[in-house]
């Protein structure tokens, strides 16, 4: 699986007395050695706490929280990179990530990530949630902009991870898409799994896969394209991008699922030329809401459209006489 949300697993009576590493290796489809390294890296929680050892015996009802790492690892260095901080206290920080910034080091992006910036900004993050993901409990794609929450300590990390695993986090995205969905509002409730032939992509599947639910509404209809509001009930990798493609409304600028021919087939040359200069997928994490892990207070945050998307909306509104 990719690192989208932590996975919460509950030990059944039949699985009682299994070793933790054996249990997770079977669930994840990876080797015990890989699981043991992940436990050492802090990517596993057993009933809310780091397990004492990989071979600990499990009991029925135990809760195992797990996030899979990337295949390669690098040394994570603090870098003085500007951050747009929306909220910060002693437990957590909410940032507004710009498009083009990777959340944590991965293949092709070992430096200049949000994790590098966070390590510089929050000096006490080291060791929270794993070496390469200090405090990070969720992510958004490199070319998606918008809001993320990051934990500063184990209490916050566990509390937030549990909310993500339970799908109780409130997340709304805004996106420009080609075409028009079949109604003013609707829901896509279709499981996602890795593409059968391209393992870097995801696809909707009829059987198997992970449950994925996206609620959408049309915020503005411009004829050939629409601005949508998409509310996540789950948070799978590439979820909105794949679900919108399944509706026949791919995200504009998406290099993987965006169907470049949709742009070339636009009859409106002025619109074509305006969209052709957009340099990334037009998807923005606009709102984020959760329960503060320590205080129990409900926190909600909103981020306006970034300059590229706001500029496009203003141009479209003026053109439509709105």
Q: Phi-psi bin for 193: left (phi > 0), alpha (psi -120 to 50), beta?
A: beta
Task: Provide Rg for the chain, Cα atoms.
Answer: 20
The residue ranges of DSSP E strands in the chain, in sequence order, are: 7-10, 44-46, 63-66, 85-88, 92-97, 145-151, 170-178, 185-189, 192-194, 202-204, 213-221, 225-232, 283-291, 298-302
Give percent helix, percent strand, percent coil of the chain, each to the nearest 5. 25, 25, 50
Catalytic residue among 4, 62, 141, 143: 141
d(CA 261, CA 248): 13
d(CA 224, CA 95): 33
Q: Phi-psi bin for 265: left (phi > 0), alpha (psi -120 to 50), beta?
A: alpha
| Known catalytic membership, residue 206 | no
Angle between helices 20-28 and 32-40 (to 10 degrees): 110
Q: φ, ψ for residue 277 (rounded to 5)?
A: -90, -5
Evaluate the CA torsion angle 138, 141, 142, 144 in order and state its sign: negative
Of 90, 12, 19, 7, nearest to 45 by C-alpha is: 7
Angle between helices 307-320 and 269-276 (to 10 degrees): 170
Catalytic residues: 141
């Amino acid at each position: 699986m990719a690192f989208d949300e932590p996975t919460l697993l509950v030990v059944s009576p039949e699985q009682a007395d299994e070793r933790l590493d054996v249990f997770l290796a079977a669930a994840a489809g990876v080797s015990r050695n890989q699981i043991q390294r992940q436990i050492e890296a802090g990517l596993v929680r057993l009933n809310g706490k780091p397990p004492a050892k990989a071979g600990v015996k499990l009991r029925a009802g135990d809760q195992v929280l797990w996030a899979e790492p990337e295949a390669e690892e690098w040394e994570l260095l603090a870098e003085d990179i500007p951050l747009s901080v929306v909220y910060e206290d002693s437990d957590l920080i909410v940032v507004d990530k710009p498009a083009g910034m990777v959340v944590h080091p991965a293949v092709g992006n070992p430096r200049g990530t949000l994790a590098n910036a966070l390590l510089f900004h929050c000096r006490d993050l080291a060791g929270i949630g794993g070496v390469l993901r200090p405090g990070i409990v969720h992510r958004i794609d490199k070319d998606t902009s918008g809001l993320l929450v990051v934990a500063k300590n184990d209490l916050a990390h566990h509390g937030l991870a549990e909310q993500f695993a339970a799908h109780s986090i409130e997340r709304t995205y805004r996106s420009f898409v080609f075409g028009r969905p079949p109604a003013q509002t609707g829901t896509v409730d279709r499981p996602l799994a890795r593409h059968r032939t391209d393992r870097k992509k995801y696809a909707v599947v009829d059987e198997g896969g992970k449950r994925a639910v996206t609620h959408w509404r049309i915020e503005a209809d411009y004829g050939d394209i629409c601005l949508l509001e998409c509310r996540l009930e789950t948070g799978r990798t590439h979820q909105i991008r794949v679900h919108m493609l399944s509706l026949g409304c791919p995200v504009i600028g998406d290099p993987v699922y965006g169907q470049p021919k949709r742009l070339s087939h636009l009859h409106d040359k002025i619109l074509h030329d305006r969209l052709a200069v957009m340099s990334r997928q037009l998807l923005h994490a606009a709102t984020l809401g959760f329960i503060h892990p320590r205080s129990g207070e409900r926190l909600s945050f909103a981020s306006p459209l970034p300059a590229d998307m706001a500029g496009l909306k203003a141009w479209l509104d003026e053109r439509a006489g709105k």
